[in-house]
Amino acid sequence: MGYAQIIATVLAAAITVVAVYLAVKAVMTITAVIRQGQPDPARFADPKTRTKTMLVETVGHTRMLKWSAIGAAHWFVMVSFVILSSLVLEAYFEVVDPNLGLPIIGHWVVFGLVTEWIGILGTIGILYLVFVRQRQKPGAVKRSRFLGSTMWQAYFVEAIIVGVLVFGFLIRGFKVATDHFEYPLWATPLSHAIGSVLPAWEDGATWMALIKILISMSWLITISLNPTMGVAWHRFLAFFNIYFKRSPEKPAGSGLGALKPMMSEGKPLDFEEADPEKDLFGVNQVEQFTWKGLLDFSTCTECGRCQSQCPAWNTAKPLSPKLLVLSLRDHAYAKAPYLLAGGGKDLMGEEKATEAQLAHMDVLALAEGNRPLIGTAEDQGVIDPDVLWSCTTCGACVEQCPVDIEHIDHIVDMRRYQVLIESSFPSEAGVMLRNLENKGNPWGAPQNTREDWTKGLDFEVPRVGEVEEFEYLFWVGCAGAFEDRAKKTTRAVATLLNEAGVSYAILGEGETCTGDPARRIGNEFIFQMLAQQNVETLNEAFEGQKSKKIVATCPHCFNTLGNEYEQLGLKVEVVHHTQLLAHLVATGKLTPVQPVDGGVTYHDPCYLGRHNRVFDAPRELLGNAIQGDVVEMPRNQERSFCCGAGGARMWMEERIGKRINVERTEEALATGAKTIAVGCPFCYTMIGDGVTGKGKQEEVEVVDVATVLLRSLKQDA
């Protein structure tokens, strides 16, 4: 062991001790912050499915590969980080003696072959990711997904990866040059090529190994001093975040479909017994999120995929799902010393800490603890109200997030407190909430007009109670019963079901709003009131029936009935009308005979497509009806662009930026199709208004998929 090896060994040991010490402290800090969150015991259920999902999403990179080239490059970088960590360990042997390697596996040719090619492909992968970041960085494109990301951290991580890979090959190169390399040319061609141009420097491998260790430990020290450095920490936290996702059985985002019920102390809130002085009504302090919420914030990679797909962000609204998560993360970690020292506010807003405790607290942490979670810049709020109310709950952020962050749950939890406790929400939405509470529908229409859409039909619409048996309960919905455009869809569906001989019945005046707009604006109380009423009505309607099937024309009703009423004990099979109609065409009960001219494009409703993965049925139906292919918009299926009506935005004014429905309408008009087909009454209204606003109503028609099918059956439909 020469002087070079002694010096290198001492330096490697010294920096490693420092790095490991700081890393342990950082892990303890992150753990302590996450533990400040509320309990969420359901996250530990079904460990088998959770483990399988975690392995599929991480090893298989299924969510990253939604963006194929970037996903593939990231996979090689991830694998190189995992596998080539063994070569960092090997470097500790090489600083002692350049002839040494990893015990047992270090001399296997297969190990040399795998690490060689993983190193090559990992280098190509990280260089491609560097190229992408430069091409899409703020200033290079109009609305960069990286805007708001901590760019120095990303550049630092990328540089570290390049450095580790380069010096790994230099170590091997010097071993080749000094004839100490154990792997043949065919297994390690790049290492041999590098070695052929390097001098036969006996200490070269030792010094290169030391530099590799210094680079690696510098990375560990840096991230340890920055526990909010998500671009680095996600390498470790992503495994846990994916494992603990809300619905591990779902192939797409765990936070899609049903909303999480209001929780307090890890249990669903019972409004009959709830006490605002003892129970949480939504979230008003960052520590009132569950521990999984705090893990979500800690895991954010700052990649901006959520931001790039967000309809609010893309139309110049202040909401960016990424920046919202980063704001909550930074606030949680800045506030943590105050909380860990005994500080915090109780549910009545009173300080928990004693004067003695407050006197010894960190001043900056104390100031952070006094910031309102929701508030304007003048109020020093963490999240601006305009950010909170810009969300359409379309699910694009959740669907795109590679580490399964549940943005919508967190946004709605904050809305719940603002609505239920603060009574602070856009004023125009108050009319909708009062109508729901008093009239059972957001339009405030009289209940005795729910069946008016049946007038003028040349057949009798069967009603529950008037027929002994029915296969499907036709859930008309508020829009389908009261909104003029949506009533056309309701009549078309009823006509098609009648012609196909489907046994169905409606509730008529017994139906009331499912509560979707109330729940998504944050008024869980009204949702529970409406939902319990509907569950009771549906249980009575299905009593004695052989099947419990519902067909709905509104994706919001479809989602609420099928996914959220289970939380109240109702289990029924719910299909969207496009699914049922596609089945009727496929089985020959409906036969399109007259193609629709002029081309048809289809707009995927968020709550039908992204939230519930119904993409094929509407397209199959349209394809049969027009006897041709649907003209797709650039953003379609899981990447479909929202119409702007979800999240109760249908009843709120859009005062900031470009109107979301206009953005989507322009995309539809650009296809050149003369018919824009929709599968949702909200989309019908929003896209229809967009076409009218563009002055194209005489050239382009917006209709429901059911109407397109009906026209293909009858010339005069």
Q: Domain map of the chain by residue range?
A: 3-36+63-217, 256-421, 430-713
Report residue 626's pLDDT band, with 50, 70 and 90 as the boundaries. confident
Report residue 437's pLDDT band, with 50, 70 and 90 as the boundaries. very high
Classify residue 554 as left (phi > 0), alpha (psi -120 to 50) or beta.
beta
Bridge partners (DSSP) of residue 179 are none
- Does residue 322 surpass a pLDDT of 50? yes
Give the mean model confidence (pLDDT) for residues 537-558: 94
Tell me the pLDDT tens digit for each residue of 163-173: 999 999 999 99
CA distance 679 to 615: 11
Give the mean model confidence (pLDDT) for residues 228-236: 95
The length of the chain in residues reads 717
Average per-residue pLDDT for the chain: 93
CA distance 169 to 188: 10
pLDDT at res. 359: 86
Give the mean model confidence (pLDDT) for residues 431-457: 95
CA distance 427 to 122: 53
- Does residue 692 surpass a pLDDT of 70? yes
Question: How close are the terminal C-alpha atoms of the chain, in Å?
Answer: 92
- Does residue 456 surpass a pLDDT of 50? yes
Give the three-class secondary structure for 690: helix
Report residue 716's pLDDT band, with 50, 70 and 90 as the boundaries. very low
Q: Which of 712, 703, 690 is nearest to 486 (CA)?
A: 703
Cβ(233)–Cβ(189) below 8 Å: no
Give the mean model confidence (pLDDT) for residues 372-382: 95
Cβ(366)–Cβ(338) below 8 Å: yes
- 549: Cα within 13 Å, side-chain hemisphere: 16
DSSP code, position 164: H
Q: Is the dihedral of CA 108, 114, 117, 118 positive or negative?
A: negative
Give the mean model confidence (pLDDT) for residues 249-258: 82
Contacts 24+ apart (CB under 8 A), 376-385: 382/286, 382/327, 382/328, 382/331, 383/324, 383/327, 383/328, 383/414, 384/318, 385/418, 385/424
- Does residue 303 surpass a pLDDT of 70? yes
- Does residue 524 surpass a pLDDT of 80? yes
- Does residue 368 surpass a pLDDT of 70? yes
Of 24-28, 205-209, 262-266, 356-360, give the lowest mean pLDDT range. Answer: 356-360
pLDDT at res. 369: 92
Report residue 717's pLDDT band, with 50, 70 and 90 as the boundaries. very low
Tell me the pLDDT tens digit for each residue of 130-187: 999 999 999 888 889 999 999 999 999 999 999 999 999 999 999 999 998 989 999 9
Give the mean model confidence (pLDDT) for residues 53-70: 90
Cβ(553)–Cβ(480) below 8 Å: yes
Report residue 593's pLDDT band, with 50, 70 and 90 as the boundaries. confident
pLDDT at res. 399: 93
pLDDT at res. 104: 82
CA distance 211 to 95: 10
Q: Is 358 exposed, middle or buried (0-12, 13-18, 19+ CB in 10 A)?
A: middle
Pairing of strands 600-602, 675-678: parallel
Spatial CB neighbours of 43, under 8 Å, sequence gap ≥ 6: 244, 246, 292
pLDDT at res. 276: 86
Of 357-366, 555-564, 693-702, give the lowest mean pLDDT range. Answer: 357-366
Most confident range, picked from 4-18, 248-262, 347-361: 4-18
pLDDT at res. 370: 92
Give the three-class secondary structure for 693: helix
